[in-house]
Amino acid sequence: MRRSASKKPNQPNSVTSSATDLSRSASSKGSTKEMDRIDQLFNQYANTSSRVIDPEGIEKLCSNLEVSHTDIRILMLAWKMKAEKQGYFTLDEWRRALKSLRADTMRKLRKALPELEKEVRVPSNFADFYAYAFRYCLTEEKQKSIDVETICQLLDIVLGSTFRAQVDYFVDYLKVWIHLFISEDLIFQSFYQFVIISSHYEQIQNDYKVINMDQWMGFYRFCNEISFPDMTNYNPELAWPLILDNFFEWMREKQA
C-alpha cells in the first residue's frame, strides 16, 4: 500500500493532478485508515489462497448485505468496481468501488446501496451499466454471444423493474423461439450438417439460441423508444435488429 505522505505535492514529474495530490495529502491519515478498513473488509470475504473474492465469498457478502445474489444491486456494485470476471472481485476492483462509495464498513456499504442505485439509474449511466451487464456475463475469451436462458434471467434483473411488460413478453418470445428450433431440429438436420461442413459456425451461433451485444442493446433502445404494448411507432423496415422485427411480428399475431 502506498503511503501518500511520501509523495511531495507539486513535484514537476508527478503524473497525478495536483488537486488530488493536495486532497490526498490533506486526508492522508484518514484515507490510509479508510483503505486499511476497506482491505480488511475485503479479506473477510476473499479466498485465502487465491486472494480474490470468489463466488462463495460473494454469496457470503450478499447475505451480509441482505440482498439476494440475483439482486440488481450486486450487479451495480460489480459495475462500480468495473469487475472483469463474473463471480469474482479482485482487491483493486473492491477498493475502487468502496473508496468511491466512501464505505469502509459493512454498515456503510449497506447504507451506500440506495445511493449507488440512484447513480446507476441516471440515464447516461444506465446505458453504460446495461452494456456492462452483458459483457460481464461473457465467460470465454472470444465469446460474443450469451445463451438465451442467461439472457432471460439477466433481462429480468436489469430491466425487470422499469420495463416489466416488455421484458415479460420478450422473454416469452425468446423461449418460444428456442422451442421452435428444437422441434424443427429434425427438418434442419441435413441443413445443419451441411452448414457445419461449410464451416459457418458463427452463423449457427447467431441463428440458434444465443443473443449478441447488438441485439442486447437493441432491446434497451426498444424499451426506451417504442410505446408498449401498442408499438405503433415501430417500423420493421428500419435498422432494428432482426430479432426485434420477429418479436414485433410475433406480438402482432398474438394481438390479432
Using CB under 8 A as the criterion, which residues of the chain lie in contact with other proteins when the complex forms?
Answer: 144-145, 190-191, 194-195, 198, 200, 202-203, 206, 212-215, 221, 237-239, 241-242, 245
How near is the Cβ of 252 to other proteins at its closest, in Å?
A: 16
Write b or e for each residue in 170-202: b if 16 or more Cβ atoms lie within 10 A of its Cβ, otherwise e: bbebbeebbeeeeeeeeeeeeeeeeeeeeeeee
How near is the Cβ of 224 to other proteins at its closest, in Å?
A: 11
How far is residue 253's CA from residue 229's CA, in Å, rounded to a whole number?
13
How far is residue 207's CA from residue 205's CA, in Å, rounded to a whole number?
6
How near is the Cβ of 71 to other proteins at its closest, in Å?
A: 30
Closest by CA to 247, choosing from 224, 225, 218, is 218
Q: Which is nearer to other proteins, 35 or 137 (CB)?
A: 137
Q: Which is nearer to other proteins, 55 or 236 (CB)?
A: 236
196: CB partners within 8 A, 6+ apart:
204
Q: Which is nearer to other proteins, 115 or 202 (CB)?
A: 202
Q: Which is nearer to other proteins, 45 or 240 (CB)?
A: 240
Closest by CA to 103, choosing from 24, 45, 42, is 42
- Geometric angle at alpha carbon 250, from 195 and 179, rounded to 5°: 50
How near is the Cβ of 198 to other proteins at its closest, in Å?
A: 6
**Rg value, the chain, Cα:** 23
Q: Which is nearer to other proteins, 17 or 227 (CB)?
A: 227
178: CB partners within 8 A, 6+ apart:
148, 209
How far is residue 129's CA from residue 121's CA, in Å, rounded to a whole number?
9
Cis upstream peptide for 229 (omega within 30°): yes
How near is the Cβ of 241 to other proteins at its closest, in Å?
A: 6
How near is the Cβ of 36 to other proteins at its closest, in Å?
A: 42
- Geometric angle at alpha carbon 62, from 35 and 68, rounded to 5°: 150
How near is the Cβ of 221 to other proteins at its closest, in Å?
A: 7
Q: Which is nearer to other proteins, 62 or 195 (CB)?
A: 195
Q: Which is nearer to other proteins, 45 or 220 (CB)?
A: 220
239: CB partners within 8 A, 6+ apart:
none
